[in-house]
């Protein structure tokens, strides 16, 4: 298993072949690696409204989120509460 992890890490650090994803990363002044291309696609999914991906990104960057306080929950709309519940259990 450890060997597979080493191989995967090496593959993710490889440069992308020429194409749209590579150009987009280079325009952003970000290394055009497979790793960064994957993160870019995850960010795009989250920006498109995929809350499970947004939660994953948030946790990857800053660790698990703390549960909101009761007074914060009372001020939230029903739809926002539903989304929060789905993020906690989904």
Burial 55-80 (b: 16+ CB within 10 A, else e): bebeeeeeeeeeeeeeeeeeeeeeee
Ranges of the chain with pLDDT below 70: 64-76, 81, 84-90
Q: Please tell me the pTM assigned to this model.
A: 0.65
Reported as a single tens digit per residue, the pLDDT across 44-63 is 999 998 888 888 888 888 77
Residue 26, C-beta contacts closer than 8 angstroms, at least 6 positions apart: 32
pLDDT at 70: 64
pLDDT at 38: 95
pLDDT at 74: 67
What are the φ/ψ torsions at residue 20 (nearest 5 degrees)?
A: -60, -45
């Amino acid at each position: 298993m450890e060997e597979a992890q080493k191989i995967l890490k090496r593959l993710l650090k490889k440069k992308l072949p020429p194409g749209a994803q590579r150009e987009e990363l280079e325009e952003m002044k970000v290394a055009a690696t497979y790793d960064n291309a994957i993160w870019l696609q995850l960010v795009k999914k989250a920006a498109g409204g995929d809350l499970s991906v947004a939660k994953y990104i948030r946790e990857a960057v800053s660790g698990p989120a703390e549960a909101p306080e009761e007074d914060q929950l009372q001020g939230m709309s029903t739809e926002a509460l539903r989304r929060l519940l789905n993020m906690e259990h989904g």
